[in-house]
Structure 1
Amino acid sequence: MKFTDELWEAALPVYEKIENHPFNRELKKGILPVEKFKFYIFQDSLYLADFAKALATAGTKSGNSQELLDFLEFAQNAILVERALHISYFKEYDINFKGEKAPGCFAYTNYLLSVSAFESYEVAVAALLPCFWIYKKVGDYIYAHQSKPNPYQNWIDAYAGEEFGKSVEKALGICNQLAENASPATRAKMKEAYLTASKLEYVFWDSAYRLEEWPV
């Protein structure tokens, strides 16, 4: 069993809750209220800006130039997606928010930035993996079970697409290689980081569905 298989099995209950969350169920059917999708897209644009920073920071800790290049490419792709949101979705849905991160987005991005800065390369890679892997799994699931026509088809196609799949496979391969050479203690911390980030993935979707605001 690969280490990532262990990670998937450990976090499967979390993934199943993400897959069955009303946000994704309604997006799959094409009935997600547009205001919730707009909120999600705006928060995602804020998330991706910090995700790119976390990816680049993690990459500087890599043990070889190839993985540094891989993580810098991941970071570049995150920035390009963030820009594409503004060019496409922000115009299509007339998103003109000037607000701040919702609590869910704030918690997730600060966790990733903290881990990438202060934890080992191995732990940082594990923490960053759910954003690749869970999104690919959710995208594939929705693509296979969606109602058509679907107003959110472009979003579905992006995460179920082959190009994104290549990045996911690369990230999984790096994580498995690191785990092979890691101590039991480091592998345990990697699993903990993966689980925490997976839970924060759920929090992010739930935050968007609830149009979450700060209580004060």
Structure 2
Amino acid sequence: MQAVGTFTKELWEAAFPIYQKLISCRFVTELAAGTLSKKSFSHYLTQDILYLKKDAEALGKVAERSRNEEDKDFFKSLEKDGLEVEFVLRDEYLWHFNLQEARVQSKAFADYSNFLLNHAKNSPLEVAYAALLPCFWIYGAVADVIIQRNVSYNPYQKFIDTYAGDEYQHYTQKFIEIVECNSVESECKKQVKEAFVEACRHELAVFEEPYELSVKG
């Protein structure tokens, strides 16, 4: 998953300090090491299920607004896949890890969901695309690091495997290409970059929150 032009290269460079914080945060390092507390993992997984519903809704909104059929079909596919992942996490992973479903979004996950839906509904299309991209690009890059650091017999292996595979990488690369094509000559470049970086900050927040709550609790 790499930048495909000058503008997406700029986006990655702008977000790189946040990415570095992400891959060194306690949640990520302990998840890869298999030492993450069940309380922290439970918070993340159960909140992720609620978040995926909102993310899929945002993807559906940008699908409706997209200017050509290829992009419409692409975002409809992402919406469909997101709901399918949410279903699997809820109906299979909660049982596998013996966890109870969350009913209400926590602050970090709610803030991220609201951010995405607001941009999907109200921002210029290229800005909306950029706001949604880090959920795939930044998260995918973090997942790659977790996989590289992963230990044998990790109790969270089933979850770690969720975002591995060529299909996820293919989707993400296509998404990066769409952002490049729609933004490289846009008059909203500053807004696009701001939305992308802010989304990356939300990614960091949802990774930090489970560990912070487990320490406080």
TM-score interval for Structure 1 and Structure 2 normalised by the shorter chain: over 0.9
> Which of 12, 15, 20 pairs up with 2:19?
15
Letter in 1 for 2:128: A
2:124 corresponds to: 120
Q: Does the alignment pair 1:66 with 2:66?
A: no
CA positional deviation for 1:39: 1.1
Partners of 2:166 and 2:160 lie apart in 1 by 12
Partners of 2:146 and 2:110 lie apart in 1 by 26
Q: What's the Cα RMSD here?
A: 1.2
1:39 corresponds to: 43
Instruction: Name which of structure 1's ranges 51-60 and 157-166 shifts more when overlaid on structure 2.
Output: 157-166
Letter in 2 for 1:211: L
Q: Does the alignment pair 1:188 with 2:190?
A: yes
Moved over 6 A (4+): none
Map 1:92-103; keep pairs closer than 5 Å: 92-103=96-107
How many residue pairs are counted as aligned between the two chains? 210
SS at match of 1:88: helix
TM-score by length of 1: 0.93
Letter in 1 for 2:194: E
Partners of 2:128 and 2:142 lie apart in 1 by 22
CA positional deviation for 1:63: 1.0
> Which of 64, 85, 89 pairs up with 1:85?
89
SS at match of 2:65: coil
CA positional deviation for 1:24: 0.2
Map 1:140-179; keep pairs closer than 5 Å: 140-179=144-183
Letter in 2 for 1:78: G
Partners of 1:52 and 1:99 lie apart in 2 by 18
Q: Which runs of 5+ in 2 are unaligned?
A: none
Q: Which runs of 5+ in 1 are unaligned?
A: none
Letter in 2 for 1:7: L
Partners of 2:185 and 2:47 lie apart in 1 by 36
Q: Using the aligned pairs only, state the percent identity.
A: 34
CA positional deviation for 1:158: 2.2
- Whether the aligned pair in 1 keeps the contact of 2:47 and 2:102 (CA below 8 Å) is no
**CA offsets 1:18-55 (integer angstroms, 9 cap, x no match):** 11110000001011011211111100001000000001
Partners of 2:213 and 2:62 lie apart in 1 by 31
Letter in 1 for 2:202: L
1:200 corresponds to: 202
CA positional deviation for 1:99: 3.2
SS at match of 2:171: helix
Partners of 2:102 and 2:51 lie apart in 1 by 15
